[in-house]
């Protein structure tokens, strides 16, 4: 049980708030987290870049084996997803129109580092928020299934990312793609706007140019293994913890049920705050590093609303997983 800022007393077994009481409570609770400029997210661009460059330098100097370098590079590169994701929701600018250009710059650079287009990711991710777990959700196509399914999809993505653009400009090239795979790619394409498709094409051909140039200038290991392969390894991790884990089994819809709070020891560090993913879906502009603080304020309220709460978070509230 706790007392809200409006003086309302809420416990986990109280009837859910309705109508204006619910709206006022949520608005007041979340407001302090929405207006702060995202300095920390800017730092979350700098440190992965610095870490990745250090790994590249260490491999070039033969201070660490290439295999170790690939693993460390994957750890550094996957961290670029947080700035990409925050930029989609304009948490860096805190929604200030004068600073939205910074969201685009940070998002575009960070997305490029993990082999995707910011324009595409923004479009697809916002569709995910709008249609979570229903037929209009792109993540159902990409993240539903088992971890093994996701590993296969990521592996295919890494191969096709470079091959498909070339086949598209070669006469008859698409005939080389198996029909079942073409059907899946066509289904994925239905979720992409013209702007997203242009963004993907630009990023893909830029990747091809960078990788070919690196191969002929003595940087093949760095470009292919420490960036491309490592980046896709990082994307496998990201698909697991941001696409699969928060929504599994992708079966429910509804404001408080289409994703969950699911915590375990170390989960906030490993998942960058998105062990409280439900809060992100409810209030997307709250920075990821503030989600746990917000949870500590309104956890009982969410339980009273019938939210999906599992793991340590449920034990914290002394409730059964729901």
Q: Is the confidence at residue 144, as pLDDT, over 60?
A: yes
Please check whether residue 322 lies inside any domain of the structure: no
Please check whether residue 124 lies inside any domain of the structure: yes
Please check whether residue 127 lies inside any domain of the structure: yes
Measured N-to-C along each axis, helices 291-304 and 19-30 cross at an angle, to the nearest 10 degrees, of: 160
Q: Does residue 63 sit in the same domain as residue 212?
A: yes
Q: Does residue 90 sit in the same domain as residue 231?
A: yes
Q: Are 220 and 214 in contact (CB under 8 A)?
A: yes
Residue owning tokens 């200038």: 217
Residues 253-266 have pLDDT tens digits of 999 999 999 999 99
Please check whether residue 321 lies inside any domain of the structure: no
Q: Does residue 138 sit in the same domain as residue 287?
A: no
Q: Does residue 271 sit in the same domain as residue 187?
A: no
CB-count exposure of residue 134 (10 Å: 0-12, 13-18, 19+)? exposed
For position 155, what pLDDT does the model report? 96
Q: Among 184, 216, 244, give the residue marking a domain's end.
A: 244
Residues 99-118 have pLDDT tens digits of 999 999 999 999 999 999 99
Q: Does residue 69 sit in the same domain as residue 150?
A: yes
For residues 188 and 167, give the distance between their C-alpha atoms in angstroms, rounded to a whole number.
18
High-pLDDT (> 70) share of the chain, %? 96
Residues 4-37 have pLDDT tens digits of 444 444 556 667 888 899 999 999 999 999 988 9
For position 7, what pLDDT does the model report? 47
Mean pLDDT of 304-309: 96
For position 203, what pLDDT does the model report? 98
Residues 259-289 have pLDDT tens digits of 999 999 999 999 999 999 999 999 999 999 9
For position 12, what pLDDT does the model report? 62
Helices (H), 89-193: 100-113, 118-130, 138-143, 147-169, 179-189
Q: Among 188, 218, 244, give the residue marking a domain's end.
A: 244
């Amino acid at each position: 049980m706790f007392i809200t800022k409006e003086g309302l007393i809420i416990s986990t077994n109280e009837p859910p708030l309705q109508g204006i009481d619910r709206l006022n409570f949520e608005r007041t609770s979340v407001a302090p987290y929405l207006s702060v400029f995202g300095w920390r997210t800017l730092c979350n661009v700098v440190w992965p870049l610095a870490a990745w460059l250090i790994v590249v330098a260490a491999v070039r100097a033969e201070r660490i084996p290439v295999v170790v370098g690939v693993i460390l590079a994957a750890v550094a590169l996957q961290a670029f997803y947080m700035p990409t994701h925050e930029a989609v929701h304009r948490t860096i600018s805190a929604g200030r129109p004068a600073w939205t250009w910074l969201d685009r710059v940070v998002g575009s650079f960070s997305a490029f580092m993990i082999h995707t287009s910011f324009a595409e990711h923004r479009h697809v991710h916002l569709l995910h928020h709008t249609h979570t777990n229903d037929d209009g959700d792109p993540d159902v196509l990409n993240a539903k299934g088992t971890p093994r399914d996701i590993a296969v999809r990521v592996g295919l993505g890494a191969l096709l990312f470079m091959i498909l653009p070339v086949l598209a400009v070669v006469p008859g090239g698409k005939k080389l793609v198996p029909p079942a795979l073409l059907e899946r790619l066509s289904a994925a394409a239905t979720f992409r706007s013209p702007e997203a498709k242009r963004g993907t094409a630009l990023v893909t051909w830029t990747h091809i140019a960078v990788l070919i140039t690196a191969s002929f200038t003595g940087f093949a290991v760095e470009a292919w293994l420490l960036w491309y392969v490592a980046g896709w390894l990082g994307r496998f991790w990201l698909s697991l913890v941001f696409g699969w884990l928060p929504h599994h089994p992708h079966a429910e819809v509804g404001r408080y049920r289409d994703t969950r709070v699911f915590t375990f020891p170390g989960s906030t560090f490993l998942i960058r705050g998105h062990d409280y993913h439900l809060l992100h879906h409810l209030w997307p502009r709250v920075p990821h590093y503030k989600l746990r603080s917000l949870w500590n304020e309104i956890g009982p309220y969410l339980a009273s609303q019938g939210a999906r709460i599992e793991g340590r978070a449920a034990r914290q509230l002394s409730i059964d997983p729901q």
